[in-house]
Amino acid sequence: MGHAFLGMPCHKTGGIAIRAFAAALAEQAVGGQVSVSTIRRLCDVLSQWQGPLAGHYANAEHGCVTQFTVEQEARHRANYLGRVVVKTFSHLLGEPESGISRDHLTPFLSAVQIILGEDTHTELQAKCAEIIEELPQKNRLTPWDEFFSHPQTALILEQVLVSIAKTFQRFETRKDWFLIVMNSTPNSKSIGSTALVAKSGPQIKQTAEFGEAHLMRLLSALFAGMHPASMTEQAKTDFQSRWGTSVEDLFGPLFVEISKRVKR
């Protein structure tokens, strides 16, 4: 959906209401004039619950829901950075016993965006888009396998994982923050990397609680590729040259903390 469609259902509904009101005024006009009392009566009739325009309002709501769903799906398809991150633990989404579902992706990716910061998140998203554009499409389909295996994609994921790992240097604080984000309502918003406040309006709570065990499971999968035991010596050397620290120093303490909680 392009910007020309933003607000379209509301625009159509407003137009219907205005035209209906104008037609009703014309019918009640005497000598081209309508009394104030008649105008007020027509306002009451046309705006009442289950009134003459109820069907139009219902259609407009359906249109809004449909449009929102389509736009949300389009954003998810274009969220290349999100796909890169989620790929690390996507196998858990098909395991009911993991307790991790697609409903958890939106709050998790929101947490990642907060940690990265808006500028870095936008920059990495743009880099992912550039990689996609350079890859030859097959039957107009995005070659996801080639995208995920691209050397630059691996470096982008590494940058994200390094950023997340650094925030876990105070493990308990970051763990608690993550659990708040993962269990927050869709109407809450962040006021920084350590706090959330509720937006105004009705709150819709997630049905399944996301607990510490779920988070440890997710983090284990997320950082699996950065475990020192899974990397070659050359890969460790390259990592240190890029970040000025060793894989063991940056990720080692994180894996220790995760291991403690997995065994509980």
Task: Show contacts of 54-59: CB within 8 Å, 24+ apart.
Answer: 56/13, 56/16, 56/17, 57/13
**Residue 181 pLDDT exceeds 70:** yes
Count of domains for the chain = 2
- The predicted pLDDT at position 89 comes to 96
CA pair distance 168, 31, nearest whole angstrom: 76
Tokens of 201: 């309006």
**Residue 221 pLDDT exceeds 50:** yes
Tokens of 160: 């994200």
- The predicted pLDDT at position 38 comes to 87
Tokens of 24: 């009703």
Q: How many helices (H) and strands (E) does the chain have?
A: 13, 2
Give the pLDDT confidence of 53-99 residue by residue, as tens digits: 777 677 766 655 555 444 444 444 579 999 999 999 999 998 888 99
| Domain extent at residue 14 | 3-68
Residue 122 lies in a domain: no
- The predicted pLDDT at position 163 comes to 98
Residues 18, 96 share a domain: no
**Residue 191 pLDDT exceeds 50:** no
- The predicted pLDDT at position 9 comes to 67
Residues 156, 51 share a domain: no
Residues 157, 251 share a domain: yes
Residues 103, 16 share a domain: no
190: three-class secondary structure by DSSP: strand
Residues 113, 59 share a domain: no
Residues 109, 32 share a domain: no
Residues 102, 49 share a domain: no
Q: What is the DSSP string of 21-81?
A: HHHHHHHH-BTTB--HHHHHHHHHHHHSTT-TTHHHHHHHHHHHHHHHHHHHHHHHHH-HH
Residues 97, 61 share a domain: no
**Residue 207 pLDDT exceeds 60:** no
**Residue 203 pLDDT exceeds 50:** no
Please report which confidence band the pLDDT of residue 208 belongs to, taking 50, 70 and 90 as the band edges: low
SS (H, E, C) 2-17: CHHHCCHHHHHHHHHH
Cα-based torsion angle of the residue sequence 238, 243, 246, 251 in order, rounded to the nearest 10 degrees: -110
**Residue 201 pLDDT exceeds 70:** no
**Residue 194 pLDDT exceeds 90:** no
pTM (2 d.p.): 0.66
Task: Give mean pLDDT, residues 6-29.
Answer: 77
